[in-house]
Each structure stands twice: as structure tokens, then as C-alpha cells.
Structure 1
Amino acid sequence: MEKGGWIDITQPLTNGMANWPGDTPFNFELGVTKEQSGSVNIGEIRTSLHMGTHADAPFHFDEAGKKLHELDVEIYIGRAKVIDVTMHAYLGRSELEAYDLDGAERLLLKTSETNNPFVFPQSFIELRPDIGPYLGEKGIFLLGIDVPSVDRTDSKDLPTHHALGDNGICIVENLMLADTEPGDYELIALPLAIQDADGSPVRAVIRKI
């Protein structure tokens, strides 16, 4: 897409899409049809808040962490840097030191995974917990990634979630970055304003700077 156009990097919410093991799957249906009401169709959804492209509030993994409505919306709007980490199976401080992150505030990681909404990946890039302090030192306060989690699927203590949260870094997961070139972008990835929530689906778009 030519410079100036917005690029949608959202994983769509679709019936039958893959869900995190044990989570409530996404389901949309018409609760009321125009034929029934005489005037309008009214849809309804049932879903885990961590389906598709979504934001994790700190409360998701920390009982004392901020809930979604307590986070500043400006975290999710502004300049972002996309970097290509497709060559890495693991990613931490030592790997990220090879990238120029000076001045970055929001960092989006393009990994080697093919993000298929209908297939939950058996494995994906592993982020080491030391990524949290390193990104904090760089002044980064939002990390986005194109896989379902910043921690392994079998992790119960979620060390990378905690390392990011301890360093003031918010998380967006399940972005669609396969066709995105590395570089600097404007980002809008606003979560829904859900009171007391641990997370939310987001509509994420970027525009080349």
C-alpha cells in the first residue's frame, strides 16, 4: 500500500477461529432479526477477551495490576517501529541489541509465524524475560507481537508478561504483520472501553511515516 494509506493489521473475529486452549471461543449471531423485530437486526457476541488481535491489561496476569479502563488511551495511539525478527527462535536483550530502537516508544515484532486465524500455533517465538528491562531502558511502553502470547502456551507463571508489566510496558498480541515492511509507522490499536476488564479485542491499523 502506498505511503499515506492505513494498513489493517488486525486478526478478524470470525466464527470458527482458533482460540487459546480452554478459552471461550468467539461466536457471533443475530440475537434478533429484522423480520422478528420489524425494524432492525441486532447481533450479539460471546467471546474470551483474548481472541484475535487483543490488548492485555496488567490485571490479566497481576491481581494488583491496572485494569483496562485505568490505562491511558494514548499508549495505543502514536509512533511505532516494526522490526523483522523472523530469523530468531528466541528473542531477548542480546538479540534486540542488534536493532536501532533509539527513540522508539511502541515496538511491533514481525516474527516468522504465519498467523492463521483458524489454526492455533503449536509453537512460536519465545520472548525471554530480560526483554522487559531492556525495552524499559529504551523508553518503550508498548510491545506488539504477531503471535498469541508473549509467553509460551504451557507457561503458568508468565515470566515475560510480568517482566514487561514490571517495566511499564503494555502488550498487544496476535497482530497480522506478515506483509508489513520494517520501519516507522503511525499506530492506532485501541482496546474497547470495558470497565474492570483484563483485556480487550482491538482494531489495529498502521500508516507509514
Structure 2
Amino acid sequence: MGKLIDVSMPLSSTIPIWPGDTLFAYELTWTKEESGSVNVGQVTMSTHTGTHIDAPFHFDSNGERVLELDLDLYAGTALVVDVSGRECIRPDDLKDVSLEGIQRVLLKTGSWKDRSVFPSIITCLHESLAAYLFENGVRLIGVDVPSVDPLDSKELSAHHALHSKGIHILEGLVLDDIEPGKYHLMALPLPLKEADGSPVRAVLSR
């Protein structure tokens, strides 16, 4: 395995969040001076802050929670595909991409231009893409934006279509400097038993 390339958003008080969601905060509960031996911190955040995975429970009350997910989905060979300049990704946008033997696809949309602010418009996935990915053996789709659906969507058509085909979702990747091609991906969720999502430290290597 080669050098690890971090493709995660740094978690800090300045990270943009979904409007109205929980602000990220880290603070010391005890300082070394107070405890006599150690600094101990606490973190407050949404499970959908920065680079994260969606468990099906996020959009389906009967769906799997984070700890029930197959960890193998989040580690292994992944194909980075550049789909920049498109408003919504459809099967035709991947027709010239060989997905043979690929279970994980990471889409580089380039549509989140300024990561210091939450975007107003992003490249989304069309619900028809789910069947195409399924037919080609893909089990995980990753995107460099906060959602696979339009930001104002209430129906979450892409989320539900992907779920219906057993395809899991990784969002908020930082792929700006990543060239298209095959990599080894590691983006393991935390073992949150009841959770609807989890932050991940996503890394690529070659």
C-alpha cells in the first residue's frame, strides 16, 4: 500500500454544516492543570458533518443503523471518476467508464467550490443511476458534496433508489486534487450502534 492521501474534510468550528443542523464544537472538559495529569475533550456534532456515511436509517425508519452495516463496503478498491461540469449524474455520464470488477465508485463533481461555506447548488445523482450501478456490481457510491440528492429535496429519490439496490452512500469527500483512476479506499464509520450516519476519516492510496 502506498502513501495515504487524506480525502476528508477537517473537523473544526469553521466547518460548514447543513442549515439548522448541530454546530461542530470541540472543547476541553478538563485541562491538564485542572485534572493534574491530562487534557480531556468533548465533541458535539451532527452525524452528517463533513465527510460521512449515511446509514439507511437516515432516510428509512426501518433501515439499517450504522453498526449493522458491512464494513467491507468501506474498504477496498475504488474508482475515482471525474464528472465535473454536470448538473445531475445519469447513466449516460458513465457509459464510457469501465466498471468491471469495481464495487466502489467515487464521483468527482467539483461542484462544491468553496468549502468554507455550505453550498447552495450541487451536482446530484439522478435516481436512474442506481439501477445502472447495481447492474455493474457497484455497492458503494461516494460524492464530493453533502448529498446525493438536490439540497432542497424532501423526497430524496437518489437515496431511496440507491438503497433499493443495496448501494451505500459516502458523502463530503475532498477529491479536488485526486486524479481519476483506481485507488484503495478506507472510510470506516464509527461503531455507533443506533446512529443514522457517522463521520469517517476517508483516505486513498495506490
TM-score bin, normalised by smaller chain: over 0.9
* Alignment correspondent of 2:101: 103
* Alignment correspondent of 2:138: 140
* Alignment correspondent of 2:79: 81
Deviation at 1:195, TM superposition (A): 0.8
Question: Matches of 2:114 and 2:85 in 1, distance apart?
Answer: 19
Question: Matches of 1:90 and 1:197 in 2, distance apart?
Answer: 29
**Aligned positions, number:** 206
Question: Matches of 1:122 and 1:67 in 2, distance apart?
Answer: 29
* Alignment correspondent of 1:123: 121
Once the two structures are superposed, what CA deviation does each residue of 1:58-117 show, in whole Å capped at 9, x if it has no partner?
Answer: 110011111100011111010000000013222111222232212110000001224544
Question: Matches of 1:8 and 1:116 in 2, distance apart?
Answer: 18
* TM-score, with length taken from structure 2: 0.97
- Given the alignment, which residue of 10, 18, 21 partners 1:20? 18
Question: Matches of 1:54 and 1:116 in 2, distance apart?
Answer: 18
Deviation at 1:16, TM superposition (A): 2.2
Q: Is the 8 A contact 2:124 2:147 kept in 1?
A: no
Deviation at 1:6, TM superposition (A): 1.0
One-letter identity of the residue aligned with 1:186: H
- Given the alignment, which residue of 143, 148, 173 partners 1:175? 173
SS in 1 for 2:15: coil
Q: Is the 8 A contact 1:146 1:177 kept in 2?
A: yes
Change (3 A) 1:44 1:117: farther
Deviation at 1:25, TM superposition (A): 1.1
Q: Is the 8 A contact 1:58 1:67 kept in 2?
A: yes
One-letter identity of the residue aligned with 1:88: R
SS in 2 for 1:203: coil
Deviation at 1:118, TM superposition (A): 2.0
One-letter identity of the residue aligned with 1:26: F
Q: Is the 8 A contact 1:115 1:174 kept in 2?
A: no
Runs (4 or more) in structure 1 with deviation over 6 Å come to none
Q: Is the 8 A contact 1:31 1:44 kept in 2?
A: yes
One-letter identity of the residue aligned with 2:70: D
- Given the alignment, which residue of 35, 38, 41 partners 2:36? 38
Question: Matches of 1:116 and 1:44 in 2, distance apart?
Answer: 28
Whether 1:149 aligns to 2:147 is: yes
Question: Matches of 1:108 and 1:18 in 2, distance apart?
Answer: 21
Q: Percent identity?
A: 49
Whether 1:164 aligns to 2:193 is: no
* TM-score, with length taken from structure 1: 0.95
One-letter identity of the residue aligned with 1:64: N
Whether 1:91 aligns to 2:89 is: yes
